[in-house]
Amino acid sequence: MNKVYGTMSIGMLLTFAVAWAVGSSPELLSIFRDPATMQPNILGWVIMFAPLIMVFAFSAAINRLSAAGAQTFFYAFAAVMGLSLSWIFQVFTGFSIAQVFLVTAISFAGLSLWGYTTKRDISGWGSFLIMGVIGLVVASIINIFLGSPAIMFAISVLGVLIFAGLTAYDTQNIKNTYLAHATHGDSEWLGKAAIMGALNLYLDFINLFMFLLQFLGASRE
């Protein structure tokens, strides 16, 4: 778990460093988005969907990668995610972003701690939560074209609930998977499993942060 949380934390720092560096520079951000409306251009759409494509590619290639290769891929993914999130520094105030990040960090820590320490088996949550994530992705894509504030509000509410559940579920799953395989002494497998665990918790944190930002973030306008 130290490896999981450590890798995740480095990925988070990399993401927010890239997001801040690009988002605080109108010249750099204009490469991906219209400076006035913040709407993505063609390259912006590519950057927006690149993390999703990379997650699927990572899952498909994990067995062929070494532990070092998996870690490098994760950090590259974290940097690309930073590019896709850079627009928030032009839309929301820096203070509100810091506030929401703190709220997310406290919430995430509590949920992850509960998932790690609870004696309750929550493995049954998995299929329902994954179905919920798929529904969120589909609804979000549809709402890109509809632009409905009501749908966006509903997506944000469900997103917070789903990724709060996933934080606890993924933490317990990572713990149980490690306990089931640690006795085999396969250090290469354990190294890659730690990277996959870090990726899962990283995605939970990022999504929880973004959905909370929709509620708590203060607009610059």
Phi, psi of 153 (to 5 degrees): -65, -45
State the pLDDT at residue 81: 93
Residue 213 burial (C-beta neighbours within 10 Å; 0-12, 13-18, 19+): buried
Between 209 and 68, where is the model more confident?
Answer: 209
Q: Is 158 among the domain residues? A: yes
Indicate whether 108 pLDDT > 70: yes
State the pLDDT at residue 183: 65
Q: Is 24 among the domain residues? A: yes
Q: Is 191 among the domain residues? A: yes
Q: What is the DSSP letter of 64?
A: G
Q: Is 168 among the domain residues? A: yes
Q: Is 11 among the domain residues? A: yes
Rounded to 5°, angle at Cα 173 from 137 and 60: 55
Q: Is 221 among the domain residues? A: no
**Residues of the domain holding 171:** 2-216
Q: Name the residue among 171, 139, 156 with its Cα closest to residue 207.
A: 156
Between 183 and 103, where is the model more confident?
Answer: 103
Calpha distance 198→73 (Å, rounded): 12
Mean pLDDT of the 3-22 span:
91
Q: Is 205 among the domain residues? A: yes
pLDDT grade for 184, boundaries at 50, 70 and 90: low
What domain count does the chain have? 1
Q: Is 75 among the domain residues? A: yes
